[in-house]
Chains A and B, each alone.
Chain A
Amino acid sequence: MRRNVIIKTVSRFLVPFIQVYALYVIVHGALGAGGGFQGGVVFAASFILMIIAFGLTCVRERFGYRWIVMLSALGITIYATIGLLCLIPGGNYLEYGSIEAALGIPHLHGYLIDAVEIGIGMTVMAIMTSIIYDMGDTGGESP
């Protein structure tokens, strides 16, 4: 569709607010409704809004394939590594109570759940953006 001035201006104004809301949904997953999956998809929706308004090549220059591959692998590595760290004080895999009992910091169980949700959010955001990059690819013709 033709790039309209109204669509460009409004989406350029809205995208930071959508991203802040997505970060809010990820981090407040333990206090209220929310979590990693929901926040990751809302974050990817901000990139899809930019693709609709400005075109695929313009967004792909700023957020290229290297970032997507690194972020998606990093998210799942965080989840698996925190699970492996729980083996050291003698607990089972992904048993956060063993780290909390060994270190003695209060509410560490909740903080570890938050860290795991951030990892999930990163992977979901990167994969959703990668899917829309591959499906919207026209091979150089105009969209």
Chain B
Amino acid sequence: MKLKALLAVAFIGIILFWAAGDLPAFGDPEAPATRYTGKLYVDLALSDIGVENIVAAILASYRGFDTLGEVVVIFTAGISVALLLRRGGRL
């Protein structure tokens, strides 16, 4: 049983190590993610929003809808734990 799991994990590991050769090098400034989208956010955040923290500006203004869904996720988790674990009918 453990041997089969070990073989499956080793097989997945070999595929992942082989695929890591295609990814951009660590710290490359010409990587596709950094050259187009990252540069766009760094250039435009100060003039559009006026907030110094770029991460907070993206989180609350450019991608504010994702953060709304995020708060709903954590609210749902709290309600689920309360439904599962509360006894005595005190909700």
Which residues does A use to contact B, with CB under 8 Å?
Answer: 29-35, 65, 72, 75-76, 79-80, 83, 93-94, 96-97, 107, 109-110, 113, 116-117, 119-120, 123-124, 126-127, 130-131, 134-135, 137, 139
Q: Are A134 and B85 in contact (CB under 8 A)?
A: yes
Quote the shortest CB–CB distance from A76 to chain B (angstroms).
5
Query: Which of B68, B77, B87, B91 has the most chain A CB within a 10 Å cutoff?
Result: B68
Residue of A nearest to B57 (CB): A113
Q: Are B86 and A110 in contact (CB under 8 A)?
A: no
Q: CA of A14 to CA of B8 in the docked complex: distance in angstroms? A: 50
B86 to chain A: which residues have CB within 8 Å?
134, 137
- Asked if B49 CB lies within 8 Å of chain A CBs, one says yes
Q: Are A123 and B61 in contact (CB under 8 A)?
A: no
Contacts A110-B49, A110-B50 hold; do A35 and B59 have CB atoms under 8 A apart?
yes
Contacts A107-B50, A113-B57, A130-B82 hold; do A83 and B74 have CB atoms under 8 A apart?
no
Quote the shortest CB–CB distance from B85 to chain A (angstroms).
4
Q: CA of A127 to CA of B73 in the docked complex: distance in angstroms? A: 11
Residue of B nearest to A124 (CB): B74
Q: Are B78 and A29 in contact (CB under 8 A)?
A: no
Residue of A nearest to B74 (CB): A127
Q: Are B61 and A29 in contact (CB under 8 A)?
A: no
Contacts A65-B90, A83-B68, A127-B75 hold; do A35 and B82 have CB atoms under 8 A apart?
no
Within the complex, which residue of A72, A76, A96, A119 is in contact with B61, where a contact is CB–CB below 8 Å? Answer: A96
Q: Are A113 and B60 in contact (CB under 8 A)?
A: yes
Q: Are A76 and B50 in contact (CB under 8 A)?
A: no
Q: CA of A83 to CA of B68 in the docked complex: distance in angstroms? A: 10
